[in-house]
Amino acid sequence: MEAVRGMWTDERLDDLNHRVDGGFQEVGREFQAIRLEMRTEFAAVRGEMAAINRRLIQVGAGGLMVMMAIGFAATIATVLSQT
């Protein structure tokens, strides 16, 4: 066990420290890239959802108006047919 400990010189520890730091920096850069990608993708999804929401409101409001017009026309037709 003592022989193994003796093989870790200051230079080797410094080298390991630099490699570990470099690995953490690389992981940090990857996380930053992923965060940026997620932000842009989420913004695109929000835009698509807003467009779908607008379309649903337009179709719903249009359908409601058509149904109301048909109901009014049916009511008028019924009243006119009774007289």
| Cα–chain center distance at 67 | 36
Model confidence pLDDT, tens digit, residues 59-77: 999 999 999 999 999 999 9
What pLDDT score was predicted for residue 34? Answer: 97
- Look at residue 5 in the predicted model and tell me its pLDDT: 57
Diameter of the chain measured on Cα atoms: 114
Rounded CA separation 7/79 (Å) = 104
Per-residue pLDDT, 1: 46
**Residue ranges, the chain, pLDDT below 50:** 1
Structure tokens at 30: 């990857």
Please state the pTM of the whole predicted model: 0.55
Distance CA 22, CA 65 (A): 64
The pLDDT value recorded for residue 9 is 85
Residue located via tokens 């997620």: 38
